[in-house]
Structure 1
Amino acid sequence: MCGLFEFSYTPGSALNFYTAWSTDPWGVGVAGGHAISGVEVKEHAYWPGGSASYTLRWTGNTVFHITPAPEPASYGMLALGLGVLAVVARRRSRP
């Protein structure tokens, strides 16, 4: 069970979101976090009899890149388009 909440991003500013997740099927143990790119990531976990938390902060040497990944369908369309071009080229080369 997991979730992503209050996700926001504006080009040129920080990526900001909250998370929550649990591997406990009874919902007794839970974990979550808050991330602000360029600033920090905080995570916490609670379970019967204990808890834990940590914070990771960005420094001047931290690099953060968001790179769009093509969808699998994009590769399929590319392959289909190249196949059509190959068939057309083959038909045109026949006498």
Structure 2
Amino acid sequence: MALAAATGNPWLALAAFGISDFFSSVLNCIGPTGVALETDHVFGDPTALPRSMTVIALPAILLGELFAHVARAPFRRTHAAFGEPIGGKVIPVSRR
């Protein structure tokens, strides 16, 4: 909604939603498939499932934290541009 308001183009917002949905679907398939492939081909033992899940989940968690940290600045700038408060106050935007 904010993207459509900012650009005046609702199709851009729809495209962004579609891209986000596509990546979400792909990542939801990669996790279980990665665990299965690692359990079968790397460990070669069905009882190694907990280790395989840990090996797949740990990098995903760390990457998620990194992406969330990187996205904080653009998120704050977007909210400040629309005058929406974050935590009850408007964060000033520094122009580069």
**TM exceeds 0.5?**
no
Select the structure with the greater relative contact order (CA < 8 A; seq sep ≥ 6).
1
Larger radius of gyration: 1
Greater fraction strand: 1
TM-score normalised according to structure 1 size: 0.30
